Amino acid sequence: MEIKSYKKLHNNLYEVHIDDLKVKLYDDIILKYNLLLNKKIDQKTFSQIMTENESLEAYYRALKYLNIKLRSEKEIANYLKKLNISDHEVLNTITKLKTDGYLNNSLYLKSYINDQVNLSMHGPYKIKNSLLNLGFKEPEIDIYLDKIDRKVWEAKIKRIIAKRKKLNKKGNLKEKTYLYLYNLGYENSMIYNLLSDITEY
């Protein structure tokens, strides 16, 4: 097989004309196989080049996806599968991302829980369910969720109750607020205790 021409594209990609084929190769592959000088390659080498290029494609796509925000392993896997990347390459990519420090469960869990506690109205159960859906296991979630002081959840509930008191015009405040807080993922006993001073029904 003979390399006939190169064309520089974007994102470290080149369009390489090999015999009657036009393939997009990353510059890492071109340098590794010294393709700027070696104009002729055999079929075995070509197959290796295409396999390694697919691996790089998956890795760089995943990195770009991670640059937007932190992601879980499950999110990365689902994203790559939508791009028709093979299961084998998905696993390889996730392993490489973890090795290179781009996927870190501890960092993700800390960041996610911190954001949910400070920027949302969600309670602990709703946060846990969201993380379970993202592919995390309950024991690893509990390590970080259990560190949140009970007073933090109570303060969030009190803010929600105060806000709903101001907005309530149709009655049934206690019942509606209970259901609202329950759906947000707060503990039953905590909700009852903090709603106990409401006299309007």
CATH code assigned at 18: 1.10.10.10
C-alpha closest to that of 137 among 149, 147, 128: 128
2 DSSP β-pair partners: 40
pLDDT classification of 201: cutoffs 50, 70, 90: very low
Q: Which two tokens stand for residue 84?
A: 């028709």
Full residue range of the structural domain in which residue 127 is found: 106-195
Choosing from 51, 73, 103, the residue where a domain stops is: 103
Decide: 95 and 153 in contact? Cβ < 8 Å.
Answer: no
How many C-alpha atoms does 48 have within 13 Å on its Cβ side?
9
Do residues 93 and 11 share a domain?
yes
pLDDT classification of 160: cutoffs 50, 70, 90: very high
Amino acid at 45: T
pLDDT for residue 200 is more than 70: no
Q: Greatest CA span in the chain, whole angstroms?
A: 85
Do residues 115 and 153 share a domain?
yes
Does residue 98 lie within any of the structural domains?
yes
pLDDT of residue 21: 83
What's the whole-model pTM score? 0.78
Do residues 131 and 74 share a domain?
no
Is pLDDT larger for residue 35 or for residue 126? 126
> How many distinct structural domains can be found in the chain?
2
Find the DSSP H helices in 70-149: 73-82, 87-99, 105-119, 124-133, 138-145
Which pLDDT tens digit goes with each residue over 59-96? 999 999 999 889 999 999 999 999 999 999 999 999 99
> What value does the mean pLDDT of the chain take?
90
Do residues 98 and 123 share a domain?
no
Do residues 7 and 92 share a domain?
yes
16 DSSP β-pair partners: 6, 23
pLDDT classification of 198: cutoffs 50, 70, 90: low
Amino acid at 157: I
Q: Which two tokens stand for residue 192?
A: 């009852």
Do residues 130 and 96 share a domain?
no
